[in-house]
Structure 1
Amino acid sequence: MLHSIDYFVIAFYVIAIMAVGLFVASKQKKGASLFLGDKSVGFASIGMSIWGTNIGPSFLVASFGAAYGSGMLVANFEWMAWIFLLLLAMVFSPYYLGLNVPTIPQIIKRRFGDTMYRLLTIYSLCTIVVVWLGGGLYVGGLLFTQFMGWDLTLSILFLLVIATSFTVVGGLAAVIVTDAFQTILMIVGMAALTLIGLYELGGVGVLIEKTPASYWTLIDPDSPDVPWYSFLLGFPVMAVWFWCTDQTIVQRVFAAKDLPTAQKGVFLAAALKILPPFIFILPGIIFFCLNPSVANSDQAFIAMVSEYMPIGFRGLMIAVLIAALISTLDSGLNSFSTIFTLDFYQPVIRKGKEVSNKEIRFVGQMVTLAASVLAFFWAVAMGSVSANLFELLQSLIAFLAPPLSTLFLVGLFWRRVTAIGATYGFALSCVLCVTVGFFSVNEKTFGLFEAWPHFLTTTFILFVISVALTVVLSLLTKPSPDEQWLPTFKQMATQNGSNSKPIWIAWGVLALVMVSLYGGFQYLASGDGGSSAAPISAQATETTKPQVSVYRGESPNFDGWVSPEEYRDATKLDGIDAWVPQFSPVHDKADLSGHVYIKHDTEYLYFAFDITDDVLYGIDTERWLPDENPRAHELTREGFPWFGDGVEVLINAENKAGEQDGELNKGNGHSWQMVVSTHKSRLGGLQKGGLLEGEERSLKSAWDTYQAWILSGAMQAKVRIKPDLSGYTLEWRIKPNPTLEIAPGVFWSAEMPVTEMGLNLAVGDLDKPKQENWGGFHHENWWSGERDKRTWLKHWGTMRLYGDYRSEYNP
């Protein structure tokens, strides 16, 4: 994939960024502060450093993939951030600079004393490790391995050495300058990707014509992924924490030479927030128009770079990924060093004794090195243990926000809050939030309710509880001698010489720009300015959209054996041999044929397959492997669960499918695709047939969901080889909750009216090794769809679920 010119570009970037950082470090005065850049940082550096720190590699790839899969909706997280950057600039910054402290914990120390100060110091160090160091380094290393082919550990070490080299020597001053350099690189690199994509597509007009109108929407009340009320309630809680109170972001404000400089720098960061949807999100939509058939949207970024970026530009894109990681990682390292040195070493280890600048600088450098070692082992551990741990830690980030947002919004702006109320409220809130986050991510409800609400809704509820705890405990206690009231906002703004009128005018202009952007994209989403994508042809509608009605029946003996008598009350599907062939057509029913039975007993939905197959893989043949994947039988995400004889069931429970090409299932209760094999299973290994994770198994969230369903018994399957080896039978039963989610938090039940769902079925037949078909497959017949398009949601058939017996509807 990479040419020697690409390697040259990558090497040039690495040398350049290290040279810039070390040059800045060499120009610092002797004894200069590692933590605040001697409070001489200009507004441009502040703005670009904040922007660059926020753009990590996981954000870059995830936003691209989200846009590929669903369009502009993810842009809300970028274009709503300006409101909270406004709060940082105009409300919080006067306090931060007026109090003349270098860290967030020292602000709380002024207000509530030492106990709360120590507690917040520990909290801050933990969040920096989780949010900025280990998680970001692991994701960056993983992406780097995909491009470069390096070992994950080597990739992590390489990236860490770059970030640590100038951070440990130059401190915040070097971090801010290199962040500014990397911000420019990221903007230029991603703008190049956008322009090249537009050129390949044929221009903006073609983009608007080919993009489904729904892809342009920014306000979607019916979004199942992020309900509008969840975003409206939960996003502000997270945004206040992230933009206004997190040390890694706010440290740039602390380093400003004065309040006006800080406010202009934060405004610049907010203005730059206009760019990400155009250079990170829009390319994902462009690539969707160029190639709508990428199975896993998380791979869309790498696929576009590989297919469309010319020699040299591929190296530039890898440099952009490295820049995104380094700008995040160096900031995290410096913030960790700042808090540890100033809020732990000096007050605890040295017990508040006067410490020279030289000693502080030396300790800060050693802590930066130690933090980098900690980050290395943390990131490597995430790659070596179950990936569930990594996704759990990343998901729990959302639950770290309520305690700190409460502490600042209530503790700083309501004078009745006491030290006891703040301290115990914060501690109890931390315990509650982490506990709820853990159980929510693992979907543990203990039977108290059906499912946890969206994590943004949960975050808001936890915020309300945190506020209530702090308020009630404060009202029940009296102020302590350790606490003191802080000056008012007006006093702080006046004291720091803020000429706020021009900056307020600038914020007003930015607000108008944001409103105009929302109006423009909603116009495209209305269909007047965009396209609704080509409709499905009449022939496709007639030939690839079969329908089936499913009724209540008696509970079968769930043992894997299928008899017509047992399923006499089920709906029967024939003609498997005449279904849509993905590979070779079936010419002999002895080769592949059979029946499918479908019914429910109100508790389970049943699929039963009676399959005739004259050659059974692994029984009549050796267990051979395809050339395309010698790891096909591994029960991992790298394996092929469907390799061998077996069947697949695909259900779109919410029955929601656009008309755009390439839209696949989501791998959750709304839409999924799973496999039953005759010779391997998750529960039985390679010795016993049964259920396996299906597509999109490359999506970690889908893989975890499928495993949870299998292990919990929400899905079960039993397979039997016919005694005369003429085929096999299998029974597959499915619990509606949590697998048939027809709307967010709503699962199908027999009490509901007639419900329509998308449905597809497949039967695979793998005989002796053949090279004429991909993977050596002999047959793979699908109930609905077209060849190479049978997994697209718009090509699935329709299943009508009736709650009662057939006789109730057909007397």
Structure 2
Amino acid sequence: MRQAKNASLFVGDKSVGFASIGMSIWGTNIGPSFLIASFGAAYSSGMLIANFEWFAWIFLLILGMVFTPFYLKSNVTTIPQIIKRRFGDGMYRLLSIYSLITIVIIWLGSGLYVGGLLFSQFTGWELWQSVLLLLIIATSFTIVGGLAAVIATDAFQTVLMIVGMAALTLIGLYEVGGIDGLMAKAPAEYWRLIDFDSESVPWMSFVLGYPIMGVWFWCTDQTIVQRVFASKDVPTAQKGILLAAVLKILPPFIFILPGIIFYVLQPGIDNTDGAFIAMVSEYMPIGFRGLMIAVLMAALISTLDSGLNSFSTIFTLDIYQPMIKKGKELSGKEVRLIGRIVTLAASALAFVWALAMEGMATNLFEIFQTLIAFLAPPLTTLFLVGLLWKRVTTAGATYGFVLGCITCMTVGICSINGQTFGLFEQWPHFLNLTFILFIVTSAITIGISLVTKHSADEEFLPKFKDVANTDSSQNKSIWKGWLILAIVMVGLYAGFEYLARNAGNTSDIPSSLPTELSSSPTTSSSTKKTASHSEPLTTNTDGLGAPEVNVYRGETPTFDGFIDQNEYQDATMLTGVENWNPQFSAVSDPKDLSGTVWIKHDGEYLYFAFDIVDNLMYGVDTPRWLPQENPNAHELTREGFPWFGDGVEVLINAKNSFSQEDGELNKGNGHSWQMVVSTHKSRLGGLGVAGLLEGEERSMLSAWNNYQKWILNKDMEAKVQIKPDAKGYTVEWRIRPDPCLEISPGEFWSADLPVTKMGLNLAVADLDNENEGAGNWGNFWHENWWSGERDKRTWLKQWGTMVLHGKTQPISTQDI
């Protein structure tokens, strides 16, 4: 068959052994984006994300024992070709284009961006230089040798990744005091694999949504399945897939476990996507850092060369030959030429897409899983419904696929941007969405099929019993292998459930912490101070109280950054900043960090005023220095650190809906937000000019856009003055209720409303010299919070309460 000969560049002459197939599947899946994202997600939530790895064996089983016999007995070289046989040319062309788009989005551009970003951090190169170098290396492997060279390279790189990450894991265990030290110090919930209350990986959502993603990724994606097409026969392919499933046991131990170890070593990192680089930089010997660069290179090249080869395969065999050459036979030379030209073209697309991603969010694990969640439903529907149910017609498959793609794309864009059009508060979890979209797409496909007839182009595929080798001894031994793997996986889940129930936790946070915010004024061991028309208040220093503060109407202050005593005599006063809950080093000298905060409103704006004592001002009487965790900290981008420097933060939950979920953060809109005022940089003035900056959650594009809009529209303003002796600073910060204090959809706080409660937290950061914060994350010296436990002060359920009164404070309520 002519095409079979021409396809040798893409399927390796069908001579690849099972070991190479298994390691290539595993290595292709483990790209730099996976490595960094899984490490960061483990730092945040522990072993929960291991479910994405340890459930994969089920879908590899389906690939090996159900789909592989169909694929190889049909003598196809691409996924679209199997659809062509079933539904004809129209569906074939649609799927070919869809496949090219998904390869660029998932395998090429995304992986190249993350790899280039990491390589630039290691080397100090510009991003585009790192991206270009890595792309040249990956492209050369693909062009020179085709799939056979790609698979051989992947197999070698798989070994390198396993060795490199195992070394990092062992070094981390040594630093944390071995297995016993890790078990004693890591939170018990970090070992849990099944958690019905988790927000990051809700268990029921996972059970519903992951199968949709799993079928698409492991059973129908060209980049993965192309390794199956390269095998010499069905048993070889099945053994290779079984090997890949066995290797999937490793990632939680060598990619996820180090993230948990680093959490124990250095808790409190907000930008978890930088956790991997931070651990490598701080704990690996210099020689081993070169090994880690090689690991990242291996992970990237393994992903890129696979994606490039798959792109070239589909374009050449499914678009160029049938559509451009009108089905004419191609010579082997022409196939190789076109394949290599297309590889270069795909490289150019990947380069552009990688650079375009530079301004996108950095919450990598959720970003990549979300992309898969919105790409998967149409193709999963096409294979599970379209191929397994003979009643599906060409019209049903085509319209279901097209309308499904449009629906998924629309929902995906709105969900990622947080755009709800006011119809509901927020989008469901992406795992729920992928299940819902699958149901919608399936309903369209089934509904249209029931009212249309089969076309002449359709061809029913053979039954499973006609292609499966049910009687062969090889087949029986492979099934035994799957059974053993199933037993191992059940044992792993049981083992980690035991760990979660019995692991020790030496955290100094008492287990009796309240789970919800107090609705009554906080009593404090600190002495209250009195002031005219004020309600002086200090927060508990033991972290056990959720403080509450009453805020009343007062006179409009002169908004200039200077704080006159008479301006805020009618404001509520918070004292004892040096005694707030320390995130890093505790304050030992009030001259180092102390201060007072006043809060009031004038009926039009809500005002916060800070008078902070600081004996050493970062960037004012000390040179600016940058943390190892982010040498681009002062960039005014989503990758920058708005709070890196001296400054204050305000966090408000205007809706006052306090989630009880661990790790639940603000939404970055009028309902709940966090903003920063720095003494040495600002959105409007850049580096060197104090003022407002975007806070968290910067990983959400909608939050980033909201924060910028508030600053540019002056919905929120801040004035900063450095004290004449440079021993501190004052801040006046005013907030317009509309759009910043949205207490319910479309309703914003005003002084005419009854007494209103909002969540509130405040922070004061002190940076000083790099060496003074040694041992702390980012070398911070002090960072004190009005409410919340250490490492949890940004969680919604850890905030205090602000009670807004529309009128002035009654004289009778004052402390005398």
Aligned-pair identity (%): 56
Q: Say if 1:758 and 1:796, in contact at 8 Å, map to a contact too.
A: no
- Closer, same or farther: CA 30–400 of 1 in aligned 2, 3 Å: closer
- Closer, same or farther: CA 83–567 of 1 in aligned 2, 3 Å: farther
1:390-421 Cα shifts (integer Å, max 9, x gaps): 98985544311111011101100011111111
Task: State the Cα distance separating 1:535 from its structure 2 match.
Answer: 3.6
Whether 2:289 is the aligned partner of 1:314: answer yes
> 65, 71, 78: which one pairs with 2:53?
78
Whether 2:234 is the aligned partner of 1:259: answer yes
Report the more deviating stretch, 424-433 or 796-805.
796-805
- Closer, same or farther: CA 568–516 of 1 in aligned 2, 3 Å: farther
> 705, 708, 712: which one pairs with 2:706?
708
Aligned to 1:300: 275
Aligned to 1:479: 454
- Closer, same or farther: CA 220–491 of 1 in aligned 2, 3 Å: same
| Cα separation, 1, equivalents of 2:352 and 2:254 | 33
> 58, 74, 78: which one pairs with 1:99?
74
Aligned to 1:525: 500
- Residue identity opposite 2:328 in structure 1: K
Aligned to 2:332: 357
Q: Say if 2:35 and 2:255, in contact at 8 Å, map to a contact too.
A: yes
1:510-565 Cα shifts (integer Å, max 9, x gaps): 11111110111111111x24435344599997545554224586699799599999
Aligned to 1:759: 761
> 121, 133, 139: which one pairs with 2:96?
121
Task: State the Cα distance separating 1:447 from its structure 2 match.
Answer: 1.5
Report the more deviating stretch, 50-59 or 473-482.
473-482
> Which structure 2 residues correspond to residues 162-201 of structure 1 after superposition, within 5 A?
162-201=137-176
Task: State the Cα distance separating 1:477 from its structure 2 match.
Answer: 1.2
| Cα separation, 2, equivalents of 1:753 and 1:408 | 57
TM-score normalised to structure 2 length: 0.80
> 347, 369, 375: which one pairs with 1:400?
375
1:139-184 Cα shifts (integer Å, max 9, x gaps): 1111111112222222222212222223212111111111111111
- Closer, same or farther: CA 702–779 of 1 in aligned 2, 3 Å: same
Aligned to 1:290: 265
Report the more deviating stretch, 360-369 or 76-85.
360-369
- Residue identity opposite 1:731 in structure 2: R
| Cα separation, 1, equivalents of 2:295 and 2:754 | 51
> Which structure 2 residues correspond to residues 132-151 of structure 1 after superposition, within 5 A?
132-151=107-126
Task: State the Cα distance separating 1:496 from its structure 2 match.
Answer: 11
| Cα separation, 1, equivalents of 2:495 and 2:741 | 38
> 623, 627, 631: which one pairs with 2:624?
627
Q: Say if 1:186 and 1:323, in contact at 8 Å, map to a contact too.
A: yes
Whether 2:249 is the aligned partner of 1:249: answer no
Q: Say if 1:682 and 1:692, in contact at 8 Å, map to a contact too.
A: yes
Report the more deviating stretch, 543-552 or 88-97.
543-552
> Which structure 2 residues correspond to residues 311-390 of structure 1 after superposition, within 5 A?
311-383=286-358, 386-387=359-360
Q: Say if 1:765 and 1:778, in contact at 8 Å, map to a contact too.
A: yes
**Secondary structure at 2:692 match in 1:** strand
Whether 2:444 is the aligned partner of 1:469: answer yes
Q: Say if 1:736 and 1:749, in contact at 8 Å, map to a contact too.
A: no
| Cα separation, 1, equivalents of 2:771 and 2:158 | 50
- Residue identity opposite 1:486 in structure 2: L
1:229-250 Cα shifts (integer Å, max 9, x gaps): 2212211111111100000000
| Cα separation, 1, equivalents of 2:620 and 2:495 | 57
1:50-102 Cα shifts (integer Å, max 9, x gaps): 00000001111221122222211111110011111111111111111121110
Q: Say if 1:616 and 1:645, in contact at 8 Å, map to a contact too.
A: no
Whether 2:467 is the aligned partner of 1:507: answer no
Aligned to 2:716: 717
- Closer, same or farther: CA 193–557 of 1 in aligned 2, 3 Å: same
| Cα separation, 2, equivalents of 1:705 and 1:289 | 29
1:250-279 Cα shifts (integer Å, max 9, x gaps): 011111111111111111111110000011
| Cα separation, 1, equivalents of 2:780 and 2:448 | 70
The runs of 5 or more residues in structure 1 that have no matched partner are 1-28
| Cα separation, 2, equivalents of 1:802 and 1:762 | 21
| Cα separation, 2, equivalents of 1:802 and 1:705 | 25
**Secondary structure at 1:417 match in 2:** coil
| Cα separation, 1, equivalents of 2:93 and 2:142 | 26
Aligned to 2:177: 202
- Residue identity opposite 1:762 in structure 2: V
Aligned to 1:421: 396
Whether 2:675 is the aligned partner of 1:674: answer yes
- Closer, same or farther: CA 546–563 of 1 in aligned 2, 3 Å: farther
- Closer, same or farther: CA 125–797 of 1 in aligned 2, 3 Å: closer
| Cα separation, 1, equivalents of 2:492 and 2:379 | 32
| Cα separation, 1, equivalents of 2:436 and 2:450 | 21
- Closer, same or farther: CA 465–798 of 1 in aligned 2, 3 Å: closer
- Closer, same or farther: CA 715–545 of 1 in aligned 2, 3 Å: farther
Aligned to 2:521: none
Whether 2:387 is the aligned partner of 1:412: answer yes
Report the more deviating stretch, 361-370 or 626-635.
626-635
**Secondary structure at 1:761 match in 2:** strand
| Cα separation, 2, equivalents of 1:754 and 1:202 | 49
Aligned to 2:517: none
Report the more deviating stretch, 368-377 or 52-61.
368-377
| Cα separation, 2, equivalents of 1:67 and 1:771 | 28
1:590-628 Cα shifts (integer Å, max 9, x gaps): x97544227999xx995622648899999xxx9788331
Q: Say if 2:648 and 2:762, in contact at 8 Å, map to a contact too.
A: no
Task: State the Cα distance separating 1:685 from its structure 2 match.
Answer: 6.2
**Secondary structure at 1:102 match in 2:** coil
- Residue identity opposite 2:703 in structure 1: T
- Closer, same or farther: CA 194–100 of 1 in aligned 2, 3 Å: same
**Secondary structure at 1:223 match in 2:** coil
Task: State the Cα distance separating 1:585 from its structure 2 match.
Answer: 4.0
> Which structure 2 residues correspond to residues 549-588 of structure 1 after superposition, within 5 A?
549-550=548-549, 572-576=573-577, 585-586=589-590
| Cα separation, 2, equivalents of 1:632 and 1:206 | 33
- Residue identity opposite 1:608 in structure 2: F
Task: State the Cα distance separating 1:330 from its structure 2 match.
Answer: 0.7
Aligned to 2:534: none
- Closer, same or farther: CA 393–524 of 1 in aligned 2, 3 Å: closer
Task: State the Cα distance separating 1:458 from its structure 2 match.
Answer: 1.3
| Cα separation, 2, equivalents of 1:271 and 1:720 | 59
- Residue identity opposite 1:472 in structure 2: G
Task: State the Cα distance separating 1:346 from its structure 2 match.
Answer: 0.9
RMSD value, Cα: 4.8
Whether 2:724 is the aligned partner of 1:730: answer no
Report the more deviating stretch, 78-87 or 752-761.
752-761
Q: Say if 1:71 and 1:285, in contact at 8 Å, map to a contact too.
A: yes
- Closer, same or farther: CA 500–211 of 1 in aligned 2, 3 Å: same
- Closer, same or farther: CA 797–281 of 1 in aligned 2, 3 Å: closer
> 254, 267, 281: which one pairs with 2:256?
281
Q: Provide the aligned length of Structure 1 versus Structure 2.
A: 756
| Cα separation, 2, equivalents of 1:368 and 1:143 | 24
Aligned to 1:608: 608
